[in-house]
Amino acid sequence: MTASPETGRAAGKIFVFAKALSAPLEALWPLLAFLFCKELGATPFQVTLLVAMKPLSALLSFYGSLLLLERRDRLKPYLAGVTLFGILPCFLFPFIDNLWFLIAAQGCFWFSSRALILAWGEIFKINLTPKERGKFFSRGSSLHSLVHIAVPLLISPWFDWYPGSWKWVFFLLALLQASHLFLVVRLPIPKEKVQKISPRPSLFLPWKEGFRLLKERKDFRHYQMVFFLCGAGLIVMHPVLPFFYKETLNLSYTGVTIATSLIKGVFFALSSRSWATLFTTVPIERFNMRVTGLAAAFSLLLLLSPHIPFGLWAAYALYGAMQAGSEMSWNLSGPHFAKEGESTLFSGVNVVFVGIRGLIVPFVGQLLFVSGSTSLVFAFGGLLCLASTLLSSYPLRERSLEEVR
């Protein structure tokens, strides 16, 4: 059951502003891998470990579902505590100059980011109708994307001109993200009788419930298979991208930012509204076919970018459009599959599969890079994305056959 329209709109607006205030800090983290390679002299293994922190952190954030399951009263404290956990290491950047600390800090931040999805998914489900969820998520994502464009473009020249300035930039943007906690305390959460599923929750409960969902829900299991393949195709490329930018394309921080923030962000924002409309009008399998098809095309353009003028820009234009659809599908799949039921477990399964992928795939990318080349990694990633596109179409073909019969 959803709340009143006024309460729903209030929750949606708070989500939009929270996304805007958290976006500047989040926008800088992708540059850290390039900074590792260009300024700090990191090894391929250290860059791979840094990249792997984002998906690996998802494994721990999966346990957030234990705290939130049937406990709406914990939503606001959870949002506040998890946000602070993610940004606190940034306040130490000016004072600690250690690669391993930076790797751990990235893990904390992305743990926080992934864990927050569980709470926001439940807040959307109890406050907003399915149509309103897509509308407010689209607004928040578009604003978030615009900030992702502006902040790196303004800051990356300073990174080029003043090496080491990035430490204080992270510090200041962490303060900005902390300010959105004043909005969190005003979130409308409909009260209900507190129910505890167990006096002492088992550490294995999320895994048991997750596997139960996959066993019982064929549609949700198929969804996970599609996103696992597509996500693997994308993340296998991430550990080698900093070396590709530095050694093959010879880019500066500003050059990297133009492609990965400006071009990607513009196309993310431009496509968000279309994705929101599409999400409510077509089956989720058909929606995912478009997302994974764009991911496969991105891989191909990335492979060809050294030989095509503005090839990298074209690749990240497709990546931005793909990411807008991917984030909408991924973040709203919990409420979509849960319908009127509990959404946190569905969202939690999404998160844990990201973590499992992160345990393996980035290191496969490193191995292919060390033993081959970036081209080999990009080709392998593209094939995985193409496989996910073909898999997305399978339920649609099944339905067509049933209709013929």
- Check if the beta carbon of residue 38 is closer than 8 Å to that of residue 249: no
Structure letter (DSSP) for residue 244: I
Q: Which of 93-97, 182-186, 279-283, 291-295 has the lowest mean pLDDT?
A: 182-186
pLDDT per position as a tens digit, 277-329? 888 888 888 899 999 999 999 999 999 999 988 999 999 999 999 999 998 88
Tell me if 307 is assigned to some domain.
yes
Domain total in the chain: 1
pLDDT per position as a tens digit, 10-20? 777 777 777 77
Q: What is the DSSP string of 370-405?
A: HHS-HHHHHHHHHHHHHHHHHHHTHHHHHHHHHHH-
pLDDT per position as a tens digit, 239-261? 999 999 988 999 998 999 999 88
Look up the pTM and report it. 0.75
Residue holding tokens 């929270």?
18
Tell me if 195 is assigned to some domain.
no
pLDDT tops 50 at residue 400 = no
- Check if the beta carbon of residue 184 is closer than 8 Å to that of residue 76: yes
Q: Residue 130's pLDDT band (boundaries 50, 70, 90)?
A: low
Distance CA 288, CA 389 (A): 8
Distance CA 55, CA 15 (A): 23
Tell me if 196 is assigned to some domain.
no
Tell me if 239 is assigned to some domain.
yes
Residue 331: which CATH number? 1.20.1250.20
Q: What is the DSSP string of 119-131?
A: HHHHHHHHH--HH
Tell me if 194 is assigned to some domain.
no
What is the token pair recorded at 122? 């439940």
Nearest to 244 by CA among 156, 368, 155: 368
Nearest to 232 by CA among 110, 364, 124: 364
pLDDT at 404: 35
pLDDT tops 70 at residue 73 = no
Tell me if 198 is assigned to some domain.
no
Q: Rg of the Cα trace of the chain?
A: 21
Tell me if 192 is assigned to some domain.
no
Tell me if 105 is assigned to some domain.
yes
Instruction: Show the domain range for 237.
Output: 5-187+203-404
